[in-house]
Amino acid sequence: MTYCVGMLLDRGLVFMSDTRTNAGLDNIATAKKMHTWEVPGERIITLMTAGNLATTQAVVGLLDERTKAPADRQPSILEAPSMFQIAREMGRTLKEVIADNLSGQQEAAATFQATMIMGGQIKGNSPRLFLIYPEGNFIEASADNPFFQIGETKYGKPILVRAYEPKMTFENAIKLLFVSFDSTIKSNLSVGLPLDYVIVERDSMRITHQARVHRDDSYYQTVSTGWGEALKTAFGKLPDFAFD
Amino acid sequence: MTYCVGMLLDRGLVFMSDTRTNAGLDNIATAKKMHTWEVPGERIITLMTAGNLATTQAVVGLLDERTKAPADRQPSILEAPSMFQIAREMGRTLKEVIADNLSGQQEAAATFQATMIMGGQIKGNSPRLFLIYPEGNFIEASADNPFFQIGETKYGKPILVRAYEPKMTFENAIKLLFVSFDSTIKSNLSVGLPLDYVIVERDSMRITHQARVHRDDSYYQTVSTGWGEALKTAFGKLPDFAFD
């Protein structure tokens, strides 16, 4: 499994992904699930992937090759006129890779499936965030639906629902995501450190912050242990129940 | 879906279940998923079920009929010498019902499956708690593994992992379960109020408390709104993140 969250804030976009990949409990490894394409000052695109690793790496590989060979007849995501067109191109590529993997196989479609979160900004337009399905279609984040999760989404959702605010700072967004990821990692072996994050400030057209957070990161550890204590304190402060 | 939790405390056993059943989003209803059998002063048994409602009602019906007809050749759970034997009987009944539903059908086994949590106490023995699988086998709760969840388990797990304590009072256990259920209900339409709970105090050999908690229950509403605020406060008190 995997856990990735993309968030649309008033200030811009925040992306965080874990790095664990597994083919069964006895075969785990670390893989990057976050990819960025940047034309500094003009556009910035970030993609996070969940699902079959061969599928998602093929998608990224195809997008990359098209990016690097401008003479290629396929449209490049670095030249597409809008984030919407980039989402279409990525969705089409994902659908093609899955269809290609499936052709001549007897296995169920689910085996090769993947889901992606993509966001970014092109100069002159607003930052946009999309959730791209294995079928190649996609939905866009909005004020009603300001963040997307993919992979192992359930454990870390309650805190996002409760604490997300569109006006929050990037620092608070990272703190919130650390809590959400820590809740997931504590409950599910298929999600694991290190974590990657990328922050794109609105209208900056570049990666504002980017880092890999390792197991020994002291701030992550503070959040992880502190959140357990904070939850217990919060729980203790709720009014007590009494039987009738 | 469904959400049920059974907890082994030093003081005894706590059971809570939701009541929503659905055959698709457009077909929801309320069904009791908690069943008790009691021989006051001698034994108390509580069963909670998740999965195919026809399967679980058939299991409860069979257990009930055997209970009410003592001349029946099948062993009755009201006469079994131990909680272990009751778990075996329930597991066997579950497996039989699933096998019976499957026979002559082409559908996948998953359609008829169900999982159950069963606990109780027989005079002279300790309270015991079991998780019974569709295959008819089961595991028992212990100090290392003191609570079981079935159904839609993920949203409500992080708070259980953090705040459960074997020494907690029944009142605190109900409060904790309300928080866990509320987190689940807020995130997933397939789990819904009202909630049923049963509390069995160690060595009492009877139901100590039992109630149905409706949507307008004022304490539940206090926990539901209060927990959102408490989480935000707890989140605010965590040390702030700073970019390097």
Q: What is the pLDDT of residues B126-153, one digit of tens each?
A: 999 999 999 999 999 999 999 999 999 9
The rounded mean pLDDT for chain A is 92
Among positive and negative, which fits the CA dihedral B139, B141, B143, B149? positive
Q: Which A residues in the span 155-184 are in contact with B, Cβ-Cβ below 8 Å?
A: 155, 157-159, 161-163, 170-172, 174-176, 178-179, 183
* Higher pLDDT among residues B112 and B72, named by residue: B112
Residue B242 lies in a domain: no
How do residues B195-204 score in pLDDT, each as one tens digit?
999 999 999 9
- Does the structure show a pLDDT above 60 at B73? no
Give the pLDDT mean for B160-166: 93
Angle at the Cα of A201 from the Cα atoms of A195 and A205, rounded to 5 degrees: 105
CA atoms within 13 A on the CB side of B237: 16
Residue A242 lies in a domain: no
Report the CATH number that the domain containing residue B89 is assigned in CATH.
3.60.20.10
Preferred mutation among B175, B181, B214, B231 to probe A, highest tally of A CBs within 10 A: B231
- Does the structure show a pLDDT above 60 at A73? no
The DSSP line for chain A is --EEEEEEETTEEEEEE--EEESSTT-EEE---EEEEEETTTEEEEEEEEE-HHHHHHHHHHHHHHHH-TTSSSPPTTT-SSHHHHHHHHHHHHHHHHHHHHTT--S-GGGG-EEEEEEEEETTS--EEEEE-TTS-EEE-BTTB-EEEEES-STTHHHHHHH--TT--HHHHHHHHHHHHHHHHHH-TTS-S-EEEEEEETTT-S-SEEEEE-TT-HHHHHHHHHHHHHHHHHHHHSPPP---
Name the least confident of A19-28, A102-111, A144-153, B41-50.
Answer: A102-111
Q: Is A209 in Cβ contact with B243 (below 8 Å)?
A: yes
ipTM for the assembly: 0.86
Owning domain of residue A58 = 3-237
B233 neighbourhood in chain A, CB within 8 Å: 234
In chain B, the percentage of residues whose pLDDT exceeds 70 is: 95
- Does the structure show a pLDDT above 80 at A108? no
Tally of domains in chain B? 1
Read off the pLDDT band of B11 (50, 70, 90).
Answer: very high
Read off the pLDDT band of A7 (50, 70, 90).
Answer: very high
Of B175, B209, B234, the CB nearest to A240: B175
Residue B126 lies in a domain: yes
Among positive and negative, which fits the CA dihedral B210, B215, A230, A189? positive
Residue B209 lies in a domain: yes
Residue A46 lies in a domain: yes
- For residue A194, whether the previous peptide bond is cis, meaning omega lies within 30 degrees of 0, is yes
Among positive and negative, which fits the CA dihedral B76, B78, B79, B84? positive
B123 lies within 8 A of chain A by CB? no
The whole-number pLDDT of residue A26 equals 86
Residue B178 lies in a domain: yes
Give the pLDDT mean for A55-65: 92
- Does the structure show a pLDDT above 80 at A199? yes
The whole-number pLDDT of residue A224 equals 93
Residue B243 lies in a domain: no
- Does the structure show a pLDDT above 70 at A67? yes
Tokens of A107: 């296995």
pTM of the model: 0.90
Name the least confident of A38-42, B89-93, B100-104.
Answer: B100-104
Using only C-alpha atoms, what is the Rg of chain B?
Answer: 19
Preferred mutation among B161, B207, B235 to probe A, highest tally of A CBs within 10 A: B235
Residue A243 lies in a domain: no
Give the pLDDT mean for A199-210: 97
Angle at the Cα of B188 from the Cα atoms of B184 and B194, rounded to 5 degrees: 65
Task: Note whether A52 and A105 are within 8 A (CB).
Answer: no
